Structure 1
Amino acid sequence: MASELCKTISVARLEKHKNLFLNYRNLHHFPLELLKDEGLQHLERLYMKRNSLTTLPENLAQKLPNLVELYLHSNNIVVVPEEVGDLKELQTLDISTNRLLALPERLHLCLSLQYLTVDRNRLWCVPRHLCQLPSLNELSMAGNRLAFLPLDLGRSRELQYVYVDNNTHLKGLPSYLYNKVIGCSGCGVTIQVSEVKLLSFSSGQLTVFLPAEVKAIGTENDHVLPLQELAMRSLYHTYHRVPKDPNFLSPISLPRSLLELLHCPLGHCHRCSEPMFTFVYPKLFPLRETPMAGLHQGRTTVGFVAYCCSTQCLQTFDLLG
């Protein structure tokens, strides 16, 4: 089997194949032959479904720089290295049915990525930076352990299809997904006793548990934001006002973690797009019919929650407006 595999890869290298099929090969390790010398510079599509891979090489992008599609469905992969973010041409990534606990933070650097499938893994959260992918059109995260989604998910006009079916702890959806095609069957069907301590609010018979990222909830009686929130918003606007000058914030000597937060806040107000960091005003909307309405009716308690930066935006925001 090993000699046959080496021959297949050698022929692909010699004849400059664009597609390579290594499905059902009982591979426990990523083939070193793929990474030999200059790698396979012409390869665009790599199929490695239904093997027993546990890891991916860190120099994958260096050796296979022109990958457009990468299929890793049904392996035993636990971690995807951050260097997957160096695959600048990658348009399709299927890493469903593996053992992932998290997605790489640098995945948002795959600027060409259009289709991302991570179904049936063990994901607890979605990197907020994922919302920055400019070309992402379809995102499928069904059958994971998601409890919340980034508030900005769906803010991009390119993202049109989101599937989060069978994430039983997922109780709310960002309202930027309101006019998208949503699959959320099997979400919010169980309420654990421990969840009573989580931030939540109710409207009629529907209870929505807010994302754990939200540290403070504003009410209609609160007209003054915490100083921490005001400072973060002011710093955000100052930082982004002169983005081309790397030294304009040097007297402040901001910690690196704070600078990273300024690049990607908790969310943006659905009314005026003001950045929010520690304080939000939630507004609940019942789930409307979508092209996937058959997945929703009578089988889920998921609703849409708008997040506003002030009482004024809260009172004037309307999904139909």
Structure 2
Amino acid sequence: MATELNEAILTAKQERHKNLFLNYKNLNCFPVELLKGEGLQFLERLYMKRNSITTLPDNLAQKLPNLIELYLHSNNIAVVPEAIGNLARLQSLDLSDNALQLICPEIGRLRSLRHLRLSNNQLKTLPPEIGDLRELETLDVSMNLLCALPERLHQCLSLQYLTADYNDLRHLPRQLCQLHSLNELSMAANSLVSLPLDLGRSRELQFVFVDNNVHLKGLPSYLYNKVIGCSGCGVLPRVSDREQLCVALGEMAVPLPAEVKLMGSETDHVVPLEELAMRALHRSYHHNPKGLNLMPHILLPKSLLDLLQFPLGHCHRCSQPMFTIVYPKLFPLKETALAGVHRRTTVSFVAYCCSIHCLQTFDLQG
């Protein structure tokens, strides 16, 4: 096997191959032959699936500077070296089915990266620096141990496909609604309790899969005309968290996102002062985003400053931004065209409105 490996690498060097396939070679370590001398300066794609490699060399970028694709599916890699950030031309990195417990922040230096696959590992967190991958189109972190996704993920403005099935996510950052290129979002088999109010507001988002999130009982009504997977959602009873607001329809109680501070009702006549102030500040911020930099931070807590950039949601009737209060309106799934597909009556669409007027005039099918 060693002789066959050496011959394959020697041939690749002599004939200046751009692609090298070293799949199923029983490798226990990264082949040193690839790194001898000047390495393979012309190699663009390296495939090493189904081996037993445990580490990557620190001089990988120095010896293979023109790598565009690095395919390491099904190995035993536990740590990715900081030097991975030096692969300036890398567009596709597949580390699925390894033993990863940590992703180094230097991953954010791969500014050409378009596809990142990290499924079936042991990751508990993702570095915020993933948000620096502005060209990233595909991110797959399914089958890990994630409890949260980084808020800075919204900076990946090219992201089209986000998959995080089979983790332990309870909430999604509302910042994800700023991913205007996102076409498919898959969060099946997690622990989701609620979804961001604005999810589905972008026309680009067409496919949302949240199957088998047994605590999830409400879907934002922006998802009404999307392709939705919600089988197995809301089918088990759950003791409501006392700190979490719920909106009820009959015996069904739908938890609201944790960021919601107040739930309005049809008896309200005045929107709370805090909400009015935030809406006024948002209008000023929207017209002059740099103006807030002049405002002393002591006048406004950081949490509220963040809200000015990323409102809690937008009214499903008039698109008014909302910050601390929502007026929810439930539409049971059985009243929609999806009832025949999912056969669930314990899941609802929830419209979030900014006022009594919008609440009374909003119609899901209008």
Instruction: Tell me whether the two structures share a fold, i.e. TM-score over 0.5.
Output: yes
Please state whether the residue corresponding to 1:29 is helix, strand or coil. Answer: coil
Please state whether the residue corresponding to 2:248 is helix, strand or coil. Answer: strand
Whole-Å separation in 1 of the counterparts to 2:87 and 2:324: 47
Match of 1:94 in 2: 140
Give yes or no for contact 2:139–2:163 (8 Å, CA) kept in 1. Answer: yes
Please state whether the residue corresponding to 1:211 is helix, strand or coil. Answer: coil
CA separation of 1:126/1:277 partners in 2, compared to 1, >3 Å: closer, same or farther? same
Match of 1:289 in 2: 337
Whole-Å separation in 1 of the counterparts to 2:207 and 2:299: 41
Judge which range, 211-220 or 268-277, deviates more. Answer: 211-220
Whole-Å separation in 2 of the counterparts to 1:91 and 1:22: 19
Judge which range, 181-190 or 197-206, deviates more. Answer: 197-206
Amino acid at match of 2:105: E
Larger Rg: 2
* Shift, 1:317, TM fit: 0.9
Give yes or no for contact 1:172–1:302 (8 Å, CA) kept in 2. Answer: yes
Structure 1 residue 50 corresponds to structure 2 residue 50: no
* Shift, 1:260, TM fit: 1.1
CA separation of 1:61/1:5 partners in 2, compared to 1, >3 Å: closer, same or farther? farther
Match of 1:312 in 2: 357
* Shift, 1:91, TM fit: 0.3
Structure 1 residue 120 corresponds to structure 2 residue 166: yes
Whole-Å separation in 2 of the counterparts to 1:111 and 1:7: 39
TM-score, length-scaled by structure 1: 0.89
Please state whether the residue corresponding to 2:105 is helix, strand or coil. Answer: coil
Amino acid at match of 2:321: P
Percent identity (aligned): 56
Whole-Å separation in 2 of the counterparts to 1:70 and 1:131: 20
Aligned length: 314
Please state whether the residue corresponding to 1:154 is helix, strand or coil. Answer: coil
Give yes or no for contact 1:61–1:87 (8 Å, CA) kept in 2. Answer: yes
Q: How does 1:215-226 map to 2 (within 5 A)?
A: 215-226=261-272
Give the gaps of 5 or more residues in structure 1: none
Larger relative contact order (CA 8 Å, sep ≥ 6): 1
CA separation of 1:280/1:173 partners in 2, compared to 1, >3 Å: closer, same or farther? same
Amino acid at match of 2:70: L
2:176 to 112, 121, 130: 130
* Shift, 1:206, TM fit: 4.2
Give yes or no for contact 1:266–1:276 (8 Å, CA) kept in 2. Answer: yes
Give the gaps of 5 or more residues in structure 2: 1-26, 44-62
Judge which range, 67-76 or 11-20, deviates more. Answer: 11-20
Amino acid at match of 1:157: R
CA separation of 1:80/1:251 partners in 2, compared to 1, >3 Å: closer, same or farther? closer
Give yes or no for contact 1:41–1:66 (8 Å, CA) kept in 2. Answer: yes
Whole-Å separation in 1 of the counterparts to 2:258 and 2:305: 22
Whole-Å separation in 2 of the counterparts to 1:202 and 1:279: 16
* Shift, 1:233, TM fit: 1.4
Give yes or no for contact 2:84–2:106 (8 Å, CA) kept in 1. Answer: no
Give yes or no for contact 2:315–2:353 (8 Å, CA) kept in 1. Answer: yes
CA separation of 1:245/1:214 partners in 2, compared to 1, >3 Å: closer, same or farther? closer
Give yes or no for contact 1:151–1:174 (8 Å, CA) kept in 2. Answer: yes
Q: How does 1:168-183 map to 2 (within 5 A)?
A: 168-183=214-229
